[in-house]
Structure 1
């Protein structure tokens, strides 16, 4: 049984969305944020206390973008993945990691210094600088979509769209989505119209309710 440890709308939303796209059976364990402080037992699963953790047949993973690649390669049967011999393979891998390393990273600093730190430790200038950094890097997504392709790797929806799509979800959470340009806005609307995306949103809300975990305040798992 695949098991995913998840906080509402954290980076773990990437593998949750992937699981729904692939129609896999899994167990979803909801945790309060941040689990390293509010769910100390979780340190027995992931000593770092970060989200996500994915367990599968003895394997344990803690990186959200890697989980997308793993699930697609192992269970996708051609869905969400791009074969190594495909001319789009390099672009697929690049976008898969771009979503986390280039787009999500600066947003975690915006989150930290506008919402997570105590009032006296918040840094508006730092948050503003990294907000601008995110928006500058988002131009890469805009350029890729300028030819009106539906997805980052062309006609097919792939795991790369899940990785980048989560960064856009986090931007919405932080109030940065107001700066989405036309192509990015159309792309975001297309992603959020996918039934698997909507199922993932419903599943996390229902699981949070069933497991007694507050999911009203949407945050992202911030690695120390």
Structure 2
């Protein structure tokens, strides 16, 4: 049984979504990243104290994109990951990693500045730069969606899981305004049954 350590609105949704798309058995363990004292059992899994993390038998992993790639390679093949000789493979790889390295990561200085930093430090240079950079890199997504239903092509892949999380994060916490094409894209990706199940499963154990 795969154990996913995560939170309700965290990057762990990427991992749970992949598990749902692939029909793999798993269990969610909630981690409260704002707790004054962290769960020692979780810290034994990831002493760096961030989510998501998984335990799959003797395998322990962190980093959402790496976990997604592990699951697809270990338990695939799956349509979520085009083969290297597939014409869509290059676009798939680019947007799979852009979703985190080029988009979601840039939102962290904005989020911690807006919600955690002292009032006088919230409108800082670093957060402003990160927000501008996100908006510039978002043009890559917009350009792709102008000619394609999904980011790798006409079929849904893990690249869409990666980027959907980043776009939702930008909208929800950073005031990012998406255009009609991006909104229609999110309606397609989040309308999937596996996404809806992933959201429900990501709330397991909350207030219990």
TM-score, length of structure 2 as denominator length: 0.92
Task: Please state how far the C-alpha of 1:130 moved relative to its aligned partner.
Answer: 1.7
- Shift of the alpha carbon at 1:105? 1.3
Shift of 1:98: 0.7
Q: Indicate conservation of the 8 Å contact 1:4/1:27, yes or no.
A: yes
CA distance in 1, matches of 2:126, 2:38: 29
Alignment partners' CA distance in 1, 2:8 and 2:78 = 29
Residue 199 (structure 1) shift: 1.2
Asked if 1 retains the 8 angstrom alpha-carbon contact of 2:33 and 2:50, the reply is no
Residue 15 of structure 2: aligned partner: 15
> Conserved in 2, the CA contact under 8 Å of 1:18 and 1:68?
yes
* Whole-angstrom CA distance in 1 between matches of 2:29 and 2:56: 14
Q: Count residues in correspondence.
A: 207
SS in 2 for 1:33: coil
Inter-partner Cα distance in structure 1 for 2:183 and 2:29: 32
Check whether the contact 1:72–1:159 (CA below 8 A) recurs between aligned residues. Answer: no
Deviation by residue 1:88-115 (Cα, 9 ceiling, x = unmatched): 2222111111110000111011101101
Structure 2 CA distance for partners of 1:196 and 1:46, relative to 1, 3 Å = same
Alignment-derived partner of residue 85 in structure 1: 85
Task: Provide the rounded CA distance (Å) in 2 between the counterparts of 1:53 and 1:34.
Answer: 17
CA contact (8 A) 1:114 1:124 kept: no
State whether residues 106 and 130 of structure 1, in contact with CA within 8 Å, keep that contact through their aligned partners in structure 2: yes
CA distance in 2, matches of 1:57, 1:129: 42
